[in-house]
Structure 1
Amino acid sequence: MKNICLLGATGSIGESCCDVLRGHKEKFHLSAFSFHKNVEKARAIIQEFSPQYVSCGDEESKERLSKEFPKITFGVGSHGLVEAATLEEVDVVLTAVSGAVGFTPTLQAIEKKKTIALANKETLVMAGKWIMEAARKQNVKILPVDSEHSAIFQALQGQDRTSLRKLVITASGGSFRDYTREELEHVTVEQALNHPNWSMGKKITIDSSTMMNKGLEVIEAHWLFDVPYENIEVVLHRESIVHSMVAFHDGSYLAQLGASDMREPILFALGFPERLEMKNEKPFDLTEIGKLHFEKMDEERFPMLRLAFECGKKGGSFPTVYNAANEIAANAFLDGKIRYLEIEKYVAFACLQHKEKEDLTLEDVIEIDKRTRNFVRKEIEYAQSQENEMRR
């Protein structure tokens, strides 16, 4: 029996994880979880899984639930996330929260020697150097949950790493993969959230459409698998059946294929090294797919992917700026404050104005992350005020 901490239980990945746990109650126990605002979903999870600890997004939610469930310990905010992730009983922490908020609880869980099932790519993008160093020092496994990184991890099992030529990360292309740059000028939030293959949270769906999500995955893959950026390739694969591939010096490729279902990489990570049966799922049938297509990525069409490689190669805190600027800009688009193509503009501008600090420390990275968010937030507010002035 593995005791699981699920950070981000009411999000799309959290829901998929709960379904996996539901199908293997003899293997897993949900000891702790966190949620942001959805009290109704959190209540249902508590009633079904009976955890020891629950971290709430705010004090009001904590007050409500603690009265209903007096035998459970409740926490709140960032402190609650850390308490949940470092609970003594916990064996595996699945980090499924969105954004840089996942960094601190993941690092603290590593320090407590918990196995990490990582679905929060921003943690490695923001501070991959420190996360991987801590994992090596504590002899902690970081098991990737993103379908692309899980595919690479699976394909590399039992392989001689010295014969590896490159990693090939597949990309669906997102909601606007067939749009021209001109056609993107006036797209809406509703259109952006209509992903052709995957059912995901709002922020990650926006990131998928801008190819920011793939850029983050490139940086994450660099840290997870210790592969130079020159040996990482992204290809357009519309069907999202081949989740990623690895290529070797002898010319051969190994690929991992499966349905567009996040339960599969979650089950693999939680069960590792054992492969467990996927419950309540129709067996995957390639004959129903018929054909698989692969195309070169157009970096002119998707400039955020090109920028990811540039920031990754520069290293230091450039990936931190790349991620932080995007979190603010993507959410601003979701809130109707900026237009779709302005996401790219604000991210590129933040990276352009960034000056790298010498002898970078983890504390510096955390400060740069905060400073970048404030910078982009103020730039957006200023642009809005100028636009409002023009209308007057």
Structure 2
Amino acid sequence: MTTTGERAAALDREDPLMPFRSRFLAVPEVLAYLDGNSLGRPLDRTPDRMAGFVRDQWGARLIRGWDEGWMEAPVRVGDELGRIALGAAPGQVVVGDSTSVLLYKAVRAALALDRGRTEIVFAAADFPTDRFVLQGIAAETGAVLVPLPAPHDGGVTSEQVAAAAGPRTAVVVLSHIAYRSAAITDVRAVTAAAHEAGAMVVWDLSHSVGALPLALDAWRVDLAVGCTYKYLNGGPGSPAFLYARADLLPRLEQPIQGWMGADRPFEMGERYAPDAGVRRFLSGTPSIVAMQPVLDMLGLLDEVGLTAVRAKSEQLTRFVIERFDAELAALGVRLASPRDDRLRGSHVTLDHPAFESMLPALHRRGVIPDFRRPDGLRIGLSPLSTSFAEVDAGLDAVVEELRFRV
């Protein structure tokens, strides 16, 4: 009978993306890194890129760098991000600020398009920052929040949106992939349902960008935001991005007016006038330094292609579910992610009351999963840096530690 270790080894041998794993920095004491959906590993070339930027651009060019490419960097990097990972034509993506700040800007801009619409439809179990930002916007503007429920192992459906959105709905705000369950929401169908009601949609792509192909232009998405430190491997606190559909840009007013989003930043004018393009969503000075690691990962994704990345993501998560069925279910673990590959992102959530108490022991063994309260262990799988053997070893440790406790 084939062991799980033997099966994992065979899958690694057959994996066409296995050679790319050597492009990432590895830590010997980490046996299994299963949290790439929260913070991706750095690429091995990134230290040299960072050192070269400090030496050759910041150090050598000093303030002249702003006239030699830094001013254009937020949109130039945004265009690359749009081409490689978002399915977006040039001039619609800008990089800067955090996901929370850009979500605030996007929702406020959407809400301001029709003052007669005052409702915000959102997922009741969405990531905390999304809910907290919306609560703040509601307090500021008097908007009414309309929460949509979702099953523990699923996400919001287009049917729910169609039923909830009406003549008072200004904007629907949803995550493409649910942060806890990994359930994939149908962007095209939900966007169409919202548009049918005359509402805008703002998507949070944080758990999908870099993990599966996106087609924002083809899906007629209005606005979207997302982070770059998960599957785009930009590092802790790397800048987020905002997408705004080109035909909407002239009508969108962002609420945090700053000099970097003005049409002529260095004129130091008396009054604010927004840039004509997506740059209008900038406020203060963006972090040019923090964009450098993102460029490395975008180059790798361009080389590999997101179709291949998605194929391996499905295999990796399927392997986790196979291990769940074979061993973990009998130990009282519950599967809290969709079984259907088409409906599941690049992580699998497993629930058990003992998981939180197990984390220190797992870390001592070099196994680093993610945990989401009250009892969810997220097995985060970054396709280009995660091997099947690594996943197998990590799950072996989970099984062994769990058997001590049940």
Normalised to the residue count of structure 2, the TM-score between the two structures is 0.37
Normalised to the residue count of structure 1, the TM-score between the two structures is 0.38
Larger % of helix: which? Answer: 1
Q: Which structure is larger by alpha-carbon Rg, 1 or 2?
A: 2
